[in-house]
Amino acid sequence: MTVYRGTEPYANRGDRREPETVRILLASSDVMFMAGLRQTLEEAPDYAVVGEATNANDAVQGALDHLPDVVIVDSDLSAPGAIEATYRIRRDEPSVSVIILGHDDDDEAVFAAIRAGAAAFLLRSLEPADVVSAVARVRNGEYLINDRVLNRPQVASRVLTEFRGLAVFGADHRKVFAPLSPREVEILDRIAQGRTNRQLADDLGISEQTVKNHVSSILRKLSVNDRTQAVVYALREGLIQMPE
C-alpha cells in the first residue's frame, strides 16, 4: 500500500478555529481510477489522501493504521471485496465513515452497502464536485444512504427486518449494521412515551449525561434536529412502535 502524508490538522489561533484537514483513504483495484479520484480530492481545500489500497485487506489495515475520517471503497475492489472491507472497517473502527462507489444503482447493491455499514453509496460516474461534497457531508456525520432507503420500499423493508432481528437478539446475532443500537432504540421508544431525560436515567439505571449522549447520537444518526423529529422519523420507518 502506498502511503501519502496528509496535512496535519490546523491548530487553534486565538479565538478563531481553523477547519481541520479531512483525511481520506482510497481503495480500488483500478489504479488509474484511484489516481484520478486522488487528484480530484486533493484539489479541494483541506482534503488530504493519507493512503491507498488495491485490495480489501490493505484497505482494512490502512484504516487501522491511519485512522482516516473517510474511506472511499470502489465496488471493484479485489477479493474479499468492497462489502467485506466496509464491514470490517466499520466493525474495527466505528468512527471511520465509508463511502462505496458502484457501477449499478440497484436495490441489491444498496442493501449490501447498508448492511455493511456504509454511510453513502455513490455511482462511479458521479461528478467530481459531488464526490467532494459527499465526503464533506459524511465527514460531518451524515448518512447519505438514508435517502436511498426512503426511496426504495423493498430495500427499506429488508433493512427493517434485519434491524429488528438485531434489536431483539443483540449485536452479535448477525453481520448487520443498524442505524441505531438496541439501547438507542429503547431510549427512543421511551422518548415516544413522553419520558424526560431524568426519568430515562432512573428507568435505565444510567446517568442523565449518558442519556443526553445517547439522544445526541440518535439525532445525529437520523439526521434530525430534535427529539420530536426523531420520534416521528422512527415511527414512520418502523424503528419503534406507536405508544399505547
Phi then psi dihedrals of residue 99, to 5 deg:
-110, 130
Mean pLDDT for 154-169 is 53
Q: pLDDT for 162-196, tens place per residue?
A: 554 444 333 443 444 456 777 888 888 888 888 88
Q: pLDDT for 86-128, tens place per residue?
A: 988 988 887 888 999 988 777 778 878 877 888 888 888 888 8
What is residue 61's predicted lDDT score, i.e. its pLDDT?
94
pLDDT at 19 exceeding the cut of 90: no
Domains recognised in the chain with CATH numbers: 12-150 (3.40.50.2300), 153-237 (1.10.10.10)
Q: Region of 238 please: left (phi>0), alpha (psi -120 to 50) or beta.
A: left
- For residue 45, give Cα distances in angstroms to 41, 89, 98, 153, 211: 9, 26, 20, 38, 37
- Residue 151 banded pLDDT, cuts 50, 70, 90: low
pLDDT at 74 exceeding the cut of 90: yes
What is residue 17's predicted lDDT score, i.e. its pLDDT?
35
Q: In what order do the strands lie in the sheet with 70-74?
A: 47-53, 22-27, 70-74, 97-102, 120-123
Q: Give the number of other Cβ atoms within 10 Å of residue 177's Cβ.
A: 22
Q: pLDDT for 208-223, tens place per residue?
A: 888 888 888 888 777 6
Report the alpha-carbon distance of residue 95 to residue 90 in Å, rounded: 8
65/143: higher pLDDT? 65
- For residue 69, give Cα distances in angstroms to 138, 191, 212: 9, 31, 24
Rg of the chain on CA atoms, in Å:
19
Mean pLDDT for 40-58 is 92
- Residue 147 banded pLDDT, cuts 50, 70, 90: low
Q: What is the dihedral of CA 216, 109, 26, 223, to 10 degrees?
A: -20
Mean pLDDT for 2-22 is 44
What is residue 28's predicted lDDT score, i.e. its pLDDT?
93
Mean pLDDT for 217-242 is 72
What is residue 114's predicted lDDT score, i.e. its pLDDT?
79
What is residue 27's predicted lDDT score, i.e. its pLDDT?
95
Average pLDDT, the chain: 77
- For residue 71, give Cα distances in angstroms to 37, 41, 46, 55: 12, 12, 16, 13
- Contacts with 225 (C-beta within 8 Å, 6 or more apart), sequence order: 219
First to last CA, the chain: 56
Strand pairing report for 22-27 and 16-17:
unpaired
- Contacts with 157 (C-beta within 8 Å, 6 or more apart), sequence order: none
